[in-house]
């Protein structure tokens, strides 16, 4: 699939911002044959006084920007053309959990794809006995089968509710509520798998949405999205699951970056020199190219 993607993040500040620094992660990633960025641009209004671009430890594209002049608003605009070709799901060659533990112990690398980075509790994906008990109900089959079952159960057992949580909600809180958004469902699934000893990480990206039959696609109605990557052993490698939709990640999932949880791949983080609050809005378009 070939997509044109447009993103606009807009922020209004209650009082003028005297200065600020931000890290912005919204550009799609180049991932070899699976995902190729044909062209991309990232701009800001007002124009920052400083900007540097680099890739972080996990390979995500980062723009570090700084403002020294007062400003009342901030716009982040990204556009990209991206080709996505995910391989078809093949035979399940993942091991059972006991064999996975041996395969994980045999990994001697600490590079960005090493499963060792994705086993411990993190700020948003805390290890909770109640979540681990929930995860055990997915049986003792292969790692990929357990992950798929968990993905489907979270889709079934949790209600999508954009008002129940916020960007600071931890997995244990979302689990207690049984409500939330894609970020929460991903953190619950990550915590579930790690509780079983299965390495799992967070994927930030975009999801193409398809309007109901007979209705036109609304401009700006697509969304940034989150899903889960699971290390399924030496032979299967990393597989990706979307617990919000109860499915394996497909050609409609466009990857921005990977991390241990949301904190590693938040679209924008930083500090401001100001008083008062702020309001933000997001608009995303993911348009297939014929």
Which pLDDT score, from 0 to 100, does residue 208 have?
86
Whether pTM > 0.85 for this model: the answer is yes
C-alpha 36/C-alpha 16 separation (Å) is 39
C-alpha 268/C-alpha 85 separation (Å) is 27
Q: What is the DSSP string of 171-238?
A: HHHHHHHTEE-HHHHHHHHHHHHHHTT--EEEEEEEE---PPTT-PPPTTBBEEEEEEEEE-HHHH-E
Please check whether residue 184 is in contact with residue 192, taking contact to mean a CB–CB distance below 8 angstroms.
no
13: β partners: 278
Q: Which residues of 45-68 are buried (b: 16+ CB within 10 A; e: fewer)?
A: eeebeeeeeeebebebbbbebebe
Residues 6+ apart with CB under 8 A from 125: 170, 171, 187, 190, 191, 194, 200, 202, 260, 261
Structure tokens of 210?
A: 């398809």
Write the Ramachandran bin of 246: left for phi over 0, alpha for psi from -120 to 50, otherwise beta: left
C-alpha 107/C-alpha 100 separation (Å) is 11
Instruction: Give me the residue label for tokens 């044909």.
Output: 38
What phi and psi, each to the nearest 5 degrees, are found at residue 47? -70, 130
What phi and psi, each to the nearest 5 degrees, are found at residue 278? -150, 160
Q: How many CA atoms lie within 13 A of 129 on its CB side?
A: 0
* Nearest CA-CA partner of 263 in 142, 168, 155, 153: 168
Which pLDDT score, from 0 to 100, does residue 209 have?
80
* Nearest CA-CA partner of 157 in 223, 228, 243: 243
Please check whether residue 79 is in contact with residue 4, taking contact to mean a CB–CB distance below 8 angstroms.
yes
Which pLDDT score, from 0 to 100, does residue 107 have?
96
Which pLDDT score, from 0 to 100, does residue 89 have?
81
C-alpha 223/C-alpha 69 separation (Å) is 31
Residues 6+ apart with CB under 8 A from 221: 209, 211, 284, 285
Q: How many CB atoms lie within 10 A of CB 276?
A: 10
* Nearest CA-CA partner of 37 in 206, 178, 159, 174: 206
pLDDT in tens, the chain (290 residues): 899 999 999 999 999 999 999 999 999 999 998 999 999 999 999 999 999 999 999 999 999 999 999 999 999 999 999 999 998 888 999 999 999 999 999 999 999 999 999 999 999 999 999 999 999 999 989 999 999 999 999 999 999 998 999 999 999 999 999 999 999 999 999 999 999 999 999 999 999 887 666 666 555 457 789 999 999 999 999 999 999 999 999 999 999 999 999 999 999 999 999 888 899 999 999 999 97
Which pLDDT score, from 0 to 100, does residue 80 have?
97
């Amino acid at each position: 699939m070939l997509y044109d993607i447009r993103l606009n993040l807009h922020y209004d500040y209650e009082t003028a911002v005297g200065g600020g620094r931000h890290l912005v992660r919204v550009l799609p990633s180049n991932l070899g044959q699976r995902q190729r960025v044909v062209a991309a641009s990232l701009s800001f209004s007002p124009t920052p006084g400083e900007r540097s671009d680099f890739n972080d430890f996990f390979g995500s594209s980062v723009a570090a920007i700084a403002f020294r002049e007062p400003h009342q608003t901030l716009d982040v605009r990204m556009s990209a053309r991206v080709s996505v070709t995910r391989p078809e799901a093949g035979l399940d060659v993942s091991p059972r959990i006991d064999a996975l533990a041996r395969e994980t112990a045999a990994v001697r690398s600490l590079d960005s794809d090493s499963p060792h980075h994705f086993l411990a509790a993190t700020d948003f994906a805390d290890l909770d006995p109640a979540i681990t008990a929930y995860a055990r109900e997915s049986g003792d089959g292969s790692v990929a089968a357990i992950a798929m079952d968990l993905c489907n159960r979270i889709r079934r057992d949790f209600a999508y509710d954009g008002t129940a949580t916020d960007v600071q909600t931890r997995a244990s809180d979302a689990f207690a509520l049984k409500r939330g958004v894609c970020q929460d469902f991903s953190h619950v699934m990550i915590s579930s798998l790690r509780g079983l000893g299965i390495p799992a990480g967070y994927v930030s990206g975009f999801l193409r949405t398809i309007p109901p039959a007979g209705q036109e696609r609304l401009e700006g109605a697509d969304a940034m999205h989150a899903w889960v990557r699971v290390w399924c052993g030496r032979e299967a490698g990393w597989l990706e699951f979307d617990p919000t939709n109860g499915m394996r990640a497909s050609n409609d999932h466009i990857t921005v970056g990977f991390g241990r949880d949301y904190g590693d791949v938040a679209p924008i983080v930083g500090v401001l020199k100001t008083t008062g609050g702020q309001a933000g809005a997001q608009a995303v378009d993911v348009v297939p190219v014929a």
